[in-house]
Chains A and B, each alone.
Chain A
Amino acid sequence: MNLSWMAWTTPTAIFFITILSLLILMTIWELLSPGGGVRYGVLRFETTRGDRLFLSLLGSAFIHLAWLGFSDLNLWWAMGVSVCYALLVFRFV
């Protein structure tokens, strides 16, 4: 199958493989500990692990955009902030 029209690059491939790996890891986590890890967090409504992953990814996207929009510092810093944000989401949301 010719996929040249999709214009793949190594960084974008790594990006999608990372997301796919996260989804596979979440599936394994669910198989090991079924039920979705439902709890009431700081948002005051029920969230599952899937919700927390979605919030982490969406929030990280906005952190990176804000970094590009407001700062000239290296984007790896935004990556660091996003990882901290994701840890906080998984701990408190």
Chain B
Amino acid sequence: MDKPVNNKAWFFVLPVFFLVAISAIIPLMTVVNYSVQDTFGNNQFFWAGTEWFKEILHSERFHSALVRNLIFSFIILLIEIPLGIVVALSMPRKGFWVPVCLILMALPLLIPWNVVGTIWQIFGRADIGLLGNTLVGLGVNYNYATNWFDAWATIILMDVWHWTSLVVLLCYAGLVSIPEAYYQAARIDGASKWKVFRYIQLPKLHRVLLIAVLLRFMDSFMIYTEPFVLTGGGPGNSTTFLSIDLVKTAIGQFDLGPAAAMSIIYFLIILLLSWVFFTVMTHYGADNNKTESGHDS
């Protein structure tokens, strides 16, 4: 039976609506206004039309930052997802070590992003950092401030250290929720460890993995603080990701018009990805529930 609809509940949403209006909608409207104008400060604006959008869409700098960001997100997913699954599979399910492992896994997630950047900045220094000094001592010509490959390797390593735990915790939650009956059935059939993983654990992890992939993709696509603190976008522009480029344009160069146009394009890309995220999550979940209830009946 359908529940009666009570539209008075909408009044409870009003405070949130006003909060979002002040913190998100009004600033976004201002950015749209800025994107079609030019300013030299002093609250004076000159009409520019779609000039900034054309400039950004044809800008080599924007294309490079976008490609860099996509490559970065791809590498992050390629490393963090399989690694997260392996670590979650090797974690204990019962006993004293469970809380110890969970706390150890949660620790990197609790550290503020700028502190993570600072830790790795010092850790990677060739003169005083443990990582940098050890590598140089081993004869590796490592310097993240002058070599683009070293800078990328350090940022990727830092992100893997910081965020793999999230994938681990999500997968672990998925793994412990698998009923023991599945494993008993597999033991009776004499299934190998690989087959248990391939046909029981992986399908049951499908949903949490979807959340992990999409969360890590969106987070890595918006990364700012850690690479900004570690390399400042350098050497050259080799680690200048979209958000770093945006801040450089807006605050460094005070080009508010192009920065606003770039923000809108960046926002639209993220909005599209968020929509895909939301749609896949909700509709995959709905289909899954239907299938499961179908099996039950």
Contact = CB atoms under 8 A, between A and B. Distances in A.
A45 B288 CA distance: 13
A12 interface: yes
Contacts of A15: 32
Contacts of B34: 7
A88 B53 CA distance: 27
Given A7-B39, A69-B58, A58 B268 contact: yes
Interface string B32-48: 11101101000101010
Interface residues of A, number: 20
A58 B275 contact: yes
B272 interface: yes
Contacts of B268: 58, 61-62, 65
Contacts of B283: 45-46
Looking at chain B's contact residues, the main secondary structure is helix
A70 to B, nearest CB: 9
Interface residues of B, number: 25
Contacts of B272: 58, 62
A75 interface: yes
Contacts, number: 53
Interface string B253-275: 00000000000010010011001
B275 A7 contact: no
B33 A6 contact: yes
Nearest to B284: A45
Contacts of B114: none
Interface string A55-66: 000100110010
A24 to B, nearest CB: 15
Contacts of B32: 12, 15-16
Given A54-B275, A58-B271, A9 B53 contact: no
B36 A68 contact: no
Contacts of B47: 9
Given A7-B39, A54-B275, A65 B45 contact: no
Interface of A: 4-9, 11-12, 15-16, 45-46, 54, 58, 61-62, 65, 68-69, 75
Given A7-B33, A8-B33, A9-B47, 11 more contacts: A6-B29, A6-B33, A7-B37, A9-B33, A16-B29, A45-B283, A46-B286, A65-B268, A68-B57, A69-B54, A69-B57
5 contacts: A9-B33, A15-B32, A58-B271, A65-B53, A69-B57
Among all A-B residue pairs, the 8 with the closest Cβ atoms: A69-B57, A45-B283, A7-B33, A6-B30, A7-B45, A12-B33, A68-B53, A68-B54
